[in-house]
Structure 1
């Protein structure tokens, strides 16, 4: 079994090689080889010049395609059985929330778009009767086929539906129904569904194996790194932090540093000797962190790796009231990202999480 530290070293080497080749780690893009193009030959009197009218028509077509699509985060199941998101370009419809659930159905429209190693979470032939949003709650009504899932997928379905719907503005919680009847528990394994609605606070990819006394802990959502071939993506995990850690930002950072469980396929971008030098400061939605120099991926360049930065920003902006993250090392702000860009401004949450190239 490869330890987390060994996996981290391998990841760091891969990250360094990507930096040398000029690849951005934050984009989630994969290198693609262009397919062979048909070859045609022009006669001497033929012209390749595009007229002004043709150029305007092409621009109008491109604009129409952009307006006809909407980037949507779909929570799926990856090859390691984690619930993880992929941002996909879906048709722009009046009900984007309903459409998002339709793209969670196995053997449905998402099948041709699924990245390698991912699968949809809802049973085949599940119909979405509707998604109504009332007072911050999204009420999702499924057909009878919704109950045709494997017991081991039950909690993953609850998490995927909840996290997919709560990405939308105005949605804080989710209620699930089947043929118009409110579900108080899931139909296969009896997972209890909160009567007040499902929220992100109830967790995702819950990790409790190393917790001796769960009653003296509180949940913390952190983002670790997963790899599928040449693709890196970020997976939210609910860990348990000690109630003695009263500062929520410090608790989250410490869980990132501690990393995932020993046998987990996930890795953290943080080395174990990374430490916060002072209590984080939160003001006007911006949290400022001051680390020791172990957080640096390159001491000479004062570089913080993109993987570490992305995990940190995703983790902290998951918390209410945090919109951006500013990083210092030994009090200095003279830092650069893995792309060599100065980190002179606070970093905000990306609008496209785990997005493929479009």
Structure 2
């Protein structure tokens, strides 16, 4: 009996050490998001914010039979918190109703009532970006017009953020500048990086202001390579892997890029995150429709598909199910 208490103390210490080991050295697996072209017609993107107020495009399954108007109304249901997903938050505090949608000649006209004001003033820029990027994901939509109580909006209702006359993806996304009159008047280039949210890595877009010629594809691609990582919350495989362009040419919407072998892992396979962030970033350049990536004379692709190039229109990523 005299050894009973010391033995209990020993076992208690062992249990405590094991508990600390599990907490401090967790081996939780992180799921990495990849781009796909398998189910593009069955997918719709919804832009929700994470804890740091960064917009993340989430691809959700939808019926092919749904019209684009119905998909847009569904998008606002998700923006209002219709379903929840770990690590993400709705942009509207109460439900925002999209009362009507009119699509004609490449313009999506979205009609709202006072429920459009159901967001926090500090989220206003993110709300405008989420609506614009969500509506322009459809190939038939080139620009967006917003209407509040039948009147076309020239500024957002709470913080008076100006709405450009031509509202499209040129406004950028996840700008870190504050909302000012000149924020969206200049050329924006969008670059993708990876960000860990919960137990997953997501591909996240962030736009930066550029004074480049929009027709100068080579300069835009160079900027993408050198300006991937913009904050401690976003990580760049291209930046850390020292991936460089050796040659590049573009013809009829097809961009052919030859990279150094730093895009390849030690076993000669393609580094998935590096490839994905690069290709998605190239998709932000309007003139590019397809991309072909080479190392030397070899065309590379992470999934080793037979296709020699990737169609940027058909790409999906960050697929989730609520």
1:134 has 2:104 as partner: yes
Superimposed CA distance per residue, residues 259-290 of structure 1 (whole angstroms, 9 cap, x where no aligned partner): 222x3301112135322123x21122221111
- Which of 310, 334, 355 is residue 276 of structure 2 equivalent to? 310
TM-score (norm 1): 0.69
Q: Is the 8 A contact 2:170 2:187 kept in 1?
A: no
1:352 has 2:320 as partner: no
Partner of 2:298: 333
Residue-pair matches, total: 282
Change (3 A) 1:355 1:270: same
In structure 1, what is the Cα distance between the partners aligned to 2:153 and 2:321?
A: 38
Q: Is the 8 A contact 1:74 1:103 kept in 2?
A: no
- Which of 73, 84, 92 is residue 122 of structure 1 equivalent to? 92
Q: Is the 8 A contact 2:191 2:205 kept in 1?
A: yes
Change (3 A) 1:247 1:178: same
Structure 1 residue 242 displacement after superposition? 5.3
Secondary structure, in 3 states, of the residue corresponding to 2:282?
helix
Partner of 1:26: 34
Q: Is the 8 A contact 2:189 2:285 kept in 1?
A: no
1:324 has 2:297 as partner: no
Structure 1 residue 205 displacement after superposition? 0.8
Q: Kindly report which structure 2 residues correspond to 1:1-358, keeping only aligned pairs within 5 A, or say none.
A: 25-26=33-34, 70-90=42-62, 92-94=65-67, 95-107=69-81, 110-111=82-83, 114-195=84-165, 197-207=166-176, 218-241=187-210, 243=212, 247-261=216-230, 263-272=231-240, 273-278=242-247, 280-298=248-266, 301-329=267-295, 331-333=296-298, 335=300, 337=302, 341=304, 345-349=308-312, 350-356=314-320
Structure 1 residue 178 displacement after superposition? 1.3
Superimposed CA distance per residue, residues 11-40 of structure 1 (whole angstroms, 9 cap, x where no aligned partner): xxx9xx98xxxx885269xxxxxxxxxxxx
- Structure 1's unaligned 5+ residue stretches are 1-13, 29-65
In structure 1, what is the Cα distance between the partners aligned to 2:259 and 2:42?
A: 38
Superimposed CA distance per residue, residues 172-226 of structure 1 (whole angstroms, 9 cap, x where no aligned partner): 111111121211111111101123x3110111112469xxxx9xx8421111111
Quote the RMSD (CA, aligned, Å): 3.1
Superimposed CA distance per residue, residues 281-322 of structure 1 (whole angstroms, 9 cap, x where no aligned partner): 112222111122233232xx3222111111112111232232
Secondary structure, in 3 states, of the residue corresponding to 1:141?
strand
Secondary structure, in 3 states, of the residue corresponding to 1:319?
coil
TM-score (norm 2): 0.76
In structure 2, what is the Cα distance between the partners aligned to 1:198 and 1:249?
A: 26
Change (3 A) 1:182 1:104: farther
- Structure 2's unaligned 5+ residue stretches are 1-26
Structure 1 residue 138 displacement after superposition? 0.8
